[in-house]
A and B are shown apart, each in its own frame.
Chain A
Amino acid sequence: MQIDDMENAGTPQPIITARAAGLVACPNCGRVHRHPAPARCARCGLALDPGPDKSLQRVLAWLVAGMIVYVPANIYPMLITNTFGHSSESTILEGVVELLQHGSYGVALIVFVASIIIPVIKFAAIGFLALSVRRQSILPPPARHKLYEIVEFIGRWSMIDVFVVAILAALVQLDFAATINPGIAAISFALSVAFTMLSAQSFDPKAIWAERDAAAS
């Protein structure tokens, strides 16, 4: 169904949605039910769509949680490095600045994009999508659907930072000479990424179209 939607996205031809056709499909196994669908899928037992309102609440809840934990992720140190008794802590932004000062522009750019740009864009995108379900949007539904696809696809790449920290912390435990420990920010950041991913997953793309249906009807 999604593939169909994608293929038809952007085409001027009017699309008949499942809801308009009085059908509800199970997102897990694909079983199609008639509109006053049972609470659970007749085949796989999955709880069927609780309705656009509940779905939207979930999206917003995860989004808010992700944004909350993103704050300490940027304030607190990501890495705590001990080298011969010297202890240094650096937050994400400090790390980027340090990389820039060392001349590693490429790495600095990657870290900056993966840790700052992408999460911020994700928050904005998900927030925009969630809010546009209820209101008149400047973007047409096909464009918003495209945006949703991008967000879902790119969201996991934000975990790069967390993976790097996890690997470094596990590898560099050389006792007195050098140790690297994850800071509070590492956990916060991982949580933030996870929350935004859950938020994106909770978003029901059908709502994009449902709104248009409602507008059309």
Chain B
Amino acid sequence: MTDQPLPPLPQIEAGPASVWRNLSVVWLVPVLALAVALGIAWQAYSERGTLIEIRFENAGGVVAGETTVRYRDVVIGAVERVRFSADLQTVVVDARVENEVLPFLDDDATFWVVRPEISAQGISGLSTVVSGVFIQGAWDSEPETPMRSFTGRDRPLLILPGEDGRRITMRVASTLQLQGGAPVFFRGIEVGRLEEPELLADGGLVVNGFIEAPHDQRLSMATRFWDSSGFSVSFGASGLSLDVESLASLVSGGIQFDEVYAGAGPVPDDFVFEIFDSEDAARESAFSVSSVGEVPVSVEFSNFVRGLGIGTPVDLLGLQVGQVTAIRVRTVETSQGPKQRLVVDLSLDPGRMGLRREASSEEVYDFLSDAVASGLRVRLMREGLLTSTIRVELANLATPPPARFDRAAEPYPILPSLTTTLPDLNATAEGLLERLAALPFETLLTQAISTMQSIEELAADPALRQVPAEAVTLLSEARDVLTSEDTQAIPGEARAAVAQLAAILTELREGGGIAAMTAAAQQANAAMGPINEASAQLPALMTNLRALSETAAALELEALVTSANAFLSSADTFIGSEDMAAVPPALSGALTELRSLLVELEAADVTGNLNATLSSTRAAAEGLPALVEQTEAVLTRANTLIASYGDRSPFMTETMDVLREISAAARAISQLASAIERNPSSLITGR
């Protein structure tokens, strides 16, 4: 038993001859563990990122090991160390960032510390209140030469590099209160932001703005920017208007833009926009803009005018072509001793005057020289009746006083001017009010009222009311007459009379009476000829009428009112006259008389008389040939009369005149009424 264990021992020792065969499977475990550990280590090392350094003036809140570096709000690294630069002037933050973003960290990469901030645009960075600050990085999407050392910004970058859109530069009037981050609106929608305004060496103020894609496509040469910050109060004929933009733009300023006309070309790269004070100013500048290529000229005025200032517009054919750039006084020696003249410098835009935009000043002066020769003069115009704003107008006069374009004058060529006496505003307004007050409105009303009263009186007259009753009585009397037996007998008599008449007519035909009548008819026909001709002249007449209407339209208001007044008063007189008042009684009397006549007729056996009359007619018919001759004569006379009417008889002419006048007067009233209706304020403002 005891020697049995010995034999296996040599067998076991034979095993180790091959180390691999005796190797336990468990050795795989440490191999795997080693592989995994090495894998983890390698992964950690390769993902460790790269150390970059960022220099800040102030790294408040940045804590090594905790503060993260973010790009688009995603953590891409962490701060490892915060130290000072050698001269202690800046804080150097060493941060380890992911290798993934490293190629993009070129010279356009910027970093800033995000802290909680409360501004007019809202509250930002609120999450950093609890989590601590973080460093935000921004760069574009094009990898260039990577860098390891950066300088951080104090303030957040407003326009991130790589953001799609367009950067523009705008010139700012010094009065605009604009802050960095102020919004840019397009029809009330925020489409961009402004950076901090920069002061140029020459004292000018420019601000860079950023219009986000796709709104940057809206930019064109017709784009105008204006200040929409704050609120504006304007008071005018249409009342009080108050414009308030968004609260953010109220506090920190903001600008709006819009295209003021269509079809403008694209904006060149280095174009500098201008920010106007108001939307109106921006829109008024529609017909150009750049002060580039504007041509200076001067104008001398002998009288001093209030309301003229720098920026006063210069108009040509009602469109603005330039503006006043300077006003100064010059003393000139005249025959009456030294005299002061007002010299106004204008700058004209060739593009707005219909010349080429890039026309040289020589070309513009050539043009002005020709224009002055054909009547171009400069004069001052008041913009409205009640406003004191003045415009400088380049007016083309048909018969200008002789003048020439003084091209050699210094510093600028001088355009001839017209001495205009601009009425004082107060005098003008007063005169208008006086004219209004002088209108006899009250008289007119009184007359109208009295006319109405007269008509009412007439209608209320008892005599007029009796008329119907009288008429009824008259009718019943007439019926009585008609129903009487004698009257019934009339037809028989009449038939006989007709038979007689027929016989007479037969005789007439034989006697040549018809021929005479035919002749008379022909004459009448001939007389119609001139009437036709007169009709043919009607179009001409209408033209005259129209001309007359225009004259009438030009009539002054007072004359019109006076005429109307006179007309109404005469109408009143007519209606109110005693004759007119006597009409109803007279009518009534006439009816009464008619009735009494009928009664008398009845009583006097008028029927019998009628019969007798008819009998006698028959007898008289025998003397007809003579009558026919007389008729013929009458017809001839009638013919003459018609002929006289057909031509331009005085009667016709007078009638036409009266009609014309009425028509013209009517038109004038209608035009005046429509003019007032279209533009009630024209009575006040004169426009």
| Stretch of A56-64, A106-114, A124-132, A142-150 with 4 or more beta carbons under 8 angstroms from chain B | A56-64
Closest A residue, CB atoms, query B38? A68
A61 surroundings in chain B (CB, below 8 A): 24, 26-30
Task: Determine if B66 and A35 form an interchain contact, defined as CB atoms under 8 angstroms apart.
Answer: no
Within 8 A of A (CB), among B1-28: 1-2, 4-5, 7-8, 12, 15-16, 22-24, 26-28
| 8 Å CB contact of B37 from A62, A71, A88 | A71
Question: Does B469 sit at the interface, judged by CB under 8 A?
Answer: no
| 8 Å CB contact of B26 from A34, A35, A184, A202 | A202
Interface centre among A71, A88, A202 (most CB of B within 10 A): A71
B399 surroundings in chain A (CB, below 8 A): none
Task: Determine if B8 and A35 form an interchain contact, defined as CB atoms under 8 angstroms apart.
Answer: yes
A85 surroundings in chain B (CB, below 8 A): 127, 130-132
Give chain B nearest CB distance to A146 CB in angstroms: 26
Interface centre among B8, B26, B33, B36 (most CB of A within 10 A): B33
| Bitwise interface map of A from 82 to 116 toward B, beta carbon under 8 Å scored 1, else 0 | 00111110000000000000000000000000000
Question: Does B496 sit at the interface, judged by CB under 8 A?
Answer: no
Cα A57 to Cα B639 with chains together (Å) = 159
Task: Determine if A68 and B37 form an interchain contact, defined as CB atoms under 8 angstroms apart.
Answer: yes
Closest B residue, CB atoms, query A176? B130
Question: Does A54 sit at the interface, judged by CB under 8 A?
Answer: yes
B1 surroundings in chain A (CB, below 8 A): 22, 34
Question: Does A169 sit at the interface, judged by CB under 8 A?
Answer: no
B28 surroundings in chain A (CB, below 8 A): 61
Main secondary structure of the interface of A (DSSP, over half): helix
Task: Determine if A53 and B12 form an interchain contact, defined as CB atoms under 8 angstroms apart.
Answer: yes
Q: Count of A residues near B, CB < 8 Å?
A: 30
User: Known: A54-B22, A57-B27. Is A36-B66 also a contact (CB below 8 A)?
Assistant: no
| Bitwise interface map of A from 143 to 176 toward B, beta carbon under 8 Å scored 1, else 0 | 0000000000000000000000000000000000
User: Known: A57-B22, A85-B127, A86-B131. Is A65-B30 also a contact (CB below 8 A)?
Assistant: yes
| 8 Å CB contact of A35 from B4, B16, B22, B37 | B4
| 8 Å CB contact of A22 from B2, B37, B40, B130 | B2
Give chain A nearest CB distance to B4 CB in angstroms: 6
Give chain B nearest CB distance to A171 CB in angstroms: 22
Task: Determine if B26 and A62 form an interchain contact, defined as CB atoms under 8 angstroms apart.
Answer: yes
Cα A103 to Cα B8 with chains together (Å) = 62
| Bitwise interface map of B from 186 to 221 toward A, beta carbon under 8 Å scored 1, else 0 | 000000000000000000000000000000000000
Question: Does A40 sit at the interface, judged by CB under 8 A?
Answer: no
B7 surroundings in chain A (CB, below 8 A): 36
Cα A54 to Cα B25 with chains together (Å) = 10
Within 8 A of A (CB), among B35-74: 36-37, 40-41, 44, 65-66
Cα A207 to Cα B7 with chains together (Å) = 19
Cα A68 to Cα B66 with chains together (Å) = 30
B36 surroundings in chain A (CB, below 8 A): 69
Within 8 A of B (CB), among A36-72: 36, 51, 53-54, 57-58, 61-62, 64-65, 68-69, 71-72
Interface centre among A21, A69, A76 (most CB of B within 10 A): A69
Question: Does B34 sit at the interface, judged by CB under 8 A?
Answer: yes
Give chain B nearest CB distance to A195 CB in angstroms: 7
Give chain A nearest CB distance to B28 CB in angstroms: 8
Question: Does A191 sit at the interface, judged by CB under 8 A?
Answer: yes
Give chain B nearest CB distance to A52 CB in angstroms: 9
Cα A68 to Cα B38 with chains together (Å) = 9
Give chain B nearest CB distance to A200 CB in angstroms: 13
B22 surroundings in chain A (CB, below 8 A): 53-54, 57
Task: Determine if A195 and B33 form an interchain contact, defined as CB atoms under 8 angstroms apart.
Answer: yes
Closest A residue, CB atoms, query B12? A51
Give chain A nearest CB distance to B95 CB in angstroms: 15
| Bitwise interface map of A from 177 to 201 toward B, beta carbon under 8 Å scored 1, else 0 | 0000000100010010001000000
Task: Determine if B5 and A22 form an interchain contact, defined as CB atoms under 8 angstroms apart.
Answer: yes
Question: Does A31 sit at the interface, judged by CB under 8 A?
Answer: no
B40 surroundings in chain A (CB, below 8 A): 72, 76, 184
Cα A195 to Cα B127 with chains together (Å) = 45
Question: Does A19 sit at the interface, judged by CB under 8 A?
Answer: yes
Task: Determine if A22 and B4 form an interchain contact, defined as CB atoms under 8 angstroms apart.
Answer: yes
Closest A residue, CB atoms, query B35? A68
A51 surroundings in chain B (CB, below 8 A): 12
User: Known: A34-B4, A85-B130, A88-B66. Is A53-B26 also a contact (CB below 8 A)?
Assistant: no
Give chain A nearest CB distance to B77 CB in angstroms: 13
Task: Determine if B131 and A36 form an interchain contact, defined as CB atoms under 8 angstroms apart.
Answer: no
A84 surroundings in chain B (CB, below 8 A): 130-131
Interface centre among B24, B44, B130 (most CB of A within 10 A): B24
A76 surroundings in chain B (CB, below 8 A): 40, 44
Task: Determine if B23 and A57 form an interchain contact, defined as CB atoms under 8 angstroms apart.
Answer: yes
Closest A residue, CB atoms, query B3? A22
Cα A69 to Cα B7 with chains together (Å) = 42
Task: Determine if A195 and B29 form an interchain contact, defined as CB atoms under 8 angstroms apart.
Answer: yes
Interface centre among B26, B40, B66 (most CB of A within 10 A): B26
Task: Determine if B29 and A62 form an interchain contact, defined as CB atoms under 8 angstroms apart.
Answer: yes
Closest A residue, CB atoms, query B34? A68
B65 surroundings in chain A (CB, below 8 A): 88
Cα A184 to Cα B32 with chains together (Å) = 16
User: Known: A53-B15, A85-B127. Is A58-B26 also a contact (CB below 8 A)?
Assistant: yes
B44 surroundings in chain A (CB, below 8 A): 76
Task: Determine if B41 and A72 form an interchain contact, defined as CB atoms under 8 angstroms apart.
Answer: yes
Cα A86 to Cα B130 with chains together (Å) = 9
B27 surroundings in chain A (CB, below 8 A): 57, 61
| 8 Å CB contact of B4 from A36, A57, A69 | A36
Task: Determine if A72 and B4 form an interchain contact, defined as CB atoms under 8 angstroms apart.
Answer: no
Task: Determine if B26 and A36 form an interchain contact, defined as CB atoms under 8 angstroms apart.
Answer: no
Give chain A nearest CB distance to B328 CB in angstroms: 67
Within 8 A of A (CB), among B63-102: 65-66
Closest B residue, CB atoms, query A188? B37
Give chain B nearest CB distance to A4 CB in angstroms: 20
Task: Determine if A58 and B131 form an interchain contact, defined as CB atoms under 8 angstroms apart.
Answer: no
Cα A205 to Cα B66 with chains together (Å) = 51
| Bitwise interface map of B from 535 to 564 toward A, beta carbon under 8 Å scored 1, else 0 | 000000000000000000000000000000
A65 surroundings in chain B (CB, below 8 A): 29-30, 32-34
Task: Determine if A36 and B8 form an interchain contact, defined as CB atoms under 8 angstroms apart.
Answer: yes
Give chain A nearest CB distance to B60 CB in angstroms: 17
Give chain A nearest CB distance to B398 CB in angstroms: 83
Closest A residue, CB atoms, query B75? A87
Task: Determine if B66 and A86 form an interchain contact, defined as CB atoms under 8 angstroms apart.
Answer: yes
A68 surroundings in chain B (CB, below 8 A): 30, 33-34, 37
| Bitwise interface map of B from 423 to 443 toward A, beta carbon under 8 Å scored 1, else 0 | 000000000000000000000
Cα A88 to Cα B37 with chains together (Å) = 23
B29 surroundings in chain A (CB, below 8 A): 61-62, 65, 195
Give chain A nearest CB distance to B576 CB in angstroms: 99
A191 surroundings in chain B (CB, below 8 A): 33
Cα A53 to Cα B40 with chains together (Å) = 33
| Bitwise interface map of A from 198 to 216 toward B, beta carbon under 8 Å scored 1, else 0 | 0000100000000000000
Give chain A nearest CB distance to B185 CB in angstroms: 35
Sample of 19 A–B contacts (CB below 8 Å): A22-B1, A22-B2, A35-B5, A51-B12, A53-B12, A57-B22, A61-B24, A61-B28, A64-B33, A65-B33, A72-B41, A84-B131, A86-B131, A86-B132, A87-B66, A88-B66, A191-B33, A195-B29, A195-B33
List the 8 closest A-B pairs by CB distance, nearest first.
Answer: A85-B131, A65-B30, A64-B30, A57-B24, A61-B26, A65-B33, A68-B33, A65-B29
Interface, chain A (partner B; CB < 8 A): 19, 21-22, 34-36, 51, 53-54, 57-58, 61-62, 64-65, 68-69, 71-72, 76, 84-88, 184, 188, 191, 195, 202
Known: A36-B5, A65-B33, A68-B37; 4 extra A-B contacts, CB below 8 A, are: A57-B26, A64-B30, A68-B30, A88-B66
Interface, chain B (partner A; CB < 8 A): 1-2, 4-5, 7-8, 12, 15-16, 22-24, 26-30, 32-34, 36-37, 40-41, 44, 65-66, 127, 130-132
